[in-house]
Amino acid sequence: MSGKRLIVLVGPSGSGKTTLGDELSKKGYPKLVTTTTRKPRPGETDGIDYYFKKEEELDPDDFVEQTIYNGNLYGLTKAEVREALIKFPLVHVSLDKNGAKALKSVYPEETFVVFICVSEEEMKKRMKARGDKEDKIAERIEFSQAINESEPIKESDLVIENKSVEKSVETILNTLKERNRSFK
């Protein structure tokens, strides 16, 4: 798998993981699709946003990493990663800290962890702008504080503050190029 890269975007809610991922996709770098047991939200498509499954359909051994959030399982399958690394030189995925650690332990050479810092004030502003309700924002901030979600993990290869999507994506791609001359 030499030269292949998995960009893992990690950061609190409102840090811009999804927006950065969307921009990477627009530039031709595919997104790894994670699996969840939660119901699709309006506008979400199975196989594009998530693989929506029932818990009884899932085998824990099929996953590189899994987490439970709001009573729903979220995880990245080994098959999704394996197929992507065969097909593409560079892919991306948004994961929580534990997911990033798990992926890096299984794919240490391929995984490039980008931690995205954001202030609590900016988190609130962004969540409000995307239409989150006040009680959900407060709940999310409290959860973030409880798990120390705003602190970069030691597995981070790059720590950025996402003030400009274009500049952040440029920084990510340029840093990868500097570290891996075979990456184009």
Read off the DSSP letter of residue 2.
Answer: T
Q: Which residues contact 33 (CB under 8 A, 6 or more apart)?
A: 47, 48, 49, 50, 51, 80
In what side-by-side order are the strands of the sheet with 90-94? 90-94, 5-10, 111-117, 158-161
pLDDT of residue 147: 78
Statement: residue 69 has pLDDT above 70:
yes
Q: Stretch 96-104: mean pLDDT, rounded?
A: 94
Statement: residue 1 has pLDDT above 70:
no
Read off φ and ψ for residue 144, nearest 5 degrees. -60, -45
pLDDT of residue 181: 58
pLDDT of residue 184: 47
Q: Measured between alpha carbons, how far is 138 from 31 in angstroms, rounded to an integer?
A: 29
pLDDT digits (tens, 9 = 90+) for 49-67: 999 999 999 999 999 999 8
Determine contact, residues 125/66, Cβ cutoff 8 Å.
Answer: no
pLDDT over 90, % of the chain: 67
pLDDT digits (tens, 9 = 90+) for 110-150: 999 999 998 888 888 888 888 889 998 888 888 888 878 88
pLDDT of residue 102: 95
Statement: residue 85 has pLDDT above 60:
yes
Residue-range domains of the chain with CATH: 5-179 (3.40.50.300)
Report pTM: 0.87
Determine contact, residues 88/183, Cβ cutoff 8 Å.
Answer: no
Q: How confident is the model at residue 32 (pLDDT cuts 50, 70, 90)?
A: very high
